[in-house]
Amino acid sequence: MKKDLLGINDLTKEDMKAIIARAIAFKKDKGNTSYRPLVGKTIGLIFEKASTRTRVSFEAAMFQLGGNVTFLSTRDTQLARQEPLADTARVLSRYLDGLVVRTFAQETVEELANHATIPVINGLTDLYHPCQILSDVMTVIEKKGAMEDLKVAWVGDGNNVAHSWIEAAATLGFSLSLACPGGYGPQPEVLEPALKKAQKPILPFEDPAKAVEGADVINTDVWASMGQEDEAAERQKVFRPYQVNSELLRLAKGDAIVLHCLPAHRGEEITAEVLEGPQSVVFDQAENKLHVHKAILAMMIK
């Protein structure tokens, strides 16, 4: 039966470790262009929101593995003219070998997956960004070794990226502290099951200093995600105390690393000094999306 990747909860701990191990192997083997397991295969990228990294890294990953990609901006497909998702999924399954979907509602990727006979991969929804977290965890493992003994801090919005970090903490078993302003924390439908499953503490705070204290990894993201443009001005005010700056970074361990999935807004959620500073690993993190996406495609596309 085909397998989808709609959220981190679709993966076991062993699955996550296997994808990351494969990605690390791809990274080591970077110069090898003879491994082409996906010759003759084509994936579709249905993107309803902007993307630089996810789109290009999935495209490059598929090409490097010998396959092809067709990019489907929703405004150019019949989805823009209300063709049902179920029909789209069934038709595309006759042409393609997999779909990567970036959209608003999680229900959209679920509906596509329910009707497709090919794997559907979530390339970001309002609720989750699972592929991103696999690259983030790979980056932490590269820099710090095993996750289990680390303390990870999330500072800022309790958004799609935070949600996937929460599910990763529960699945992999590492400690995660989140500092989010009141009313902007993670959704209970994500947090509560994770708290039940977790072996290590997942601690929500409002005070960023508390979340960051003694952390090995500090992670942040934009204050207004795609689709929240109308709230951006209000969020600027609310999130101001949640900026990742050198003062906040001093509360973490001296060798803490800083992650940001990018794109970043310097001077908002993170200062240029921290983003460009010696503790920032954001460009390795961005590169790792390519290796992780190669691993996902090599393991999921049949």
Going by C-beta distance under 8 Å and a sequence separation of 6 or more, which residues neighbour residue 93? 115, 116, 117, 118
The dihedrals phi and psi of 259, each to the nearest 5 degrees, come to -115, 150
CA 56 to chain centre: 15
- What distance in Å separates the CA atoms of residue 229 and residue 247, rounded to the nearest whole number? 28
In degrees to the nearest 10, what's the CA dihedral of 143, 263, 77, 44? -10
Footprint (CB under 6 A) of ligand NVA, residues 245-264:
261
75 or 81, CB closer to ligand CP? 75
Smaller CB distance to ligand NVA: residue 26 or 47?
47
- Binding residues for ligand CP (CB under 6 A): 51-54, 124, 132, 261-262
User: Binding to ligand NVA by residue 134, rule CB under 6 A?
Assistant: no
Write the DSSP symbol of residue 258. E
Name 145's Cβ contacts closer than 8 Å, sequence gap at least 6.
none
Q: Does 108 bind ligand NVA (CB under 6 A)?
A: no
Closer to ligand CP by CB, 198 or 244: give it. 244
Of 240, 248, 245, 247, the closest CA to residue 271 belongs to: 245
Select the residue interacting with ligand NVA from 62, 99, 161, 202 (CB under 6 A). 161
Instruction: State the binding partner of 251 from ligand NVA, ligand CP, none, CB within 5 to 8 A by kind.
Output: none
The verdict on 159 binding ligand NVA (CB under 6 A) reads yes
The CA radius of gyration of the chain, in Å to the nearest whole number, is 19
Among candidate residues 221, 222, 289, 266, the one with its CA nearest the CA of residue 52: 289
**Cβ-based neighbour number of residue 241 at 10 Å:** 14
Exactly one of 221, 252, 275, 292 binds ligand NVA (CB under 6 A); which one?
221
Q: How far is the CB of 52 from ligand CP (least distance, A)?
A: 4
Residue 64, binding choice from ligand CP, ligand NVA, none, Cβ under 5 to 8 Å by partner class: none
Taking CB under 6 A as the criterion, the residue among 57, 122, 160, 219 binding ligand NVA is: 160
With 0-12 CB in 10 A as exposed, 13-18 as middle and 19+ as buried, what is 227? middle
Count how many Cα atoms sit within 13 Å of the Cα of residue 43 in the half-sphere of its side chain: 30
With binding defined as CB under 6 A, does residue 212 bind ligand NVA? no
Q: Which one of residues 217, 222, 274, 292 is an interface residue with ligand NVA (CB under 6 A)?
A: 222
DSSP 263: -
Closer to ligand NVA by Cβ: residue 51 or 93: 51
Q: Which does 160 bind (CB under 5 to 8 A by kind): ligand NVA, ligand CP, none?
A: ligand NVA
280 binds ligand NVA (CB under 6 A): no
Binding to ligand NVA by residue 282, rule CB under 6 A? no
Asked if 91 contacts 108 with a C-beta cutoff of 8 angstroms, the reply is: no
Q: Which range touches ligand NVA (CB under 6 A), out of 18-26, 193-201, 206-214, 222-230?
A: 222-230
Give me the residues that bind ligand NVA (CB under 6 A), please.
Answer: 124, 159-161, 221-222, 225-226, 261
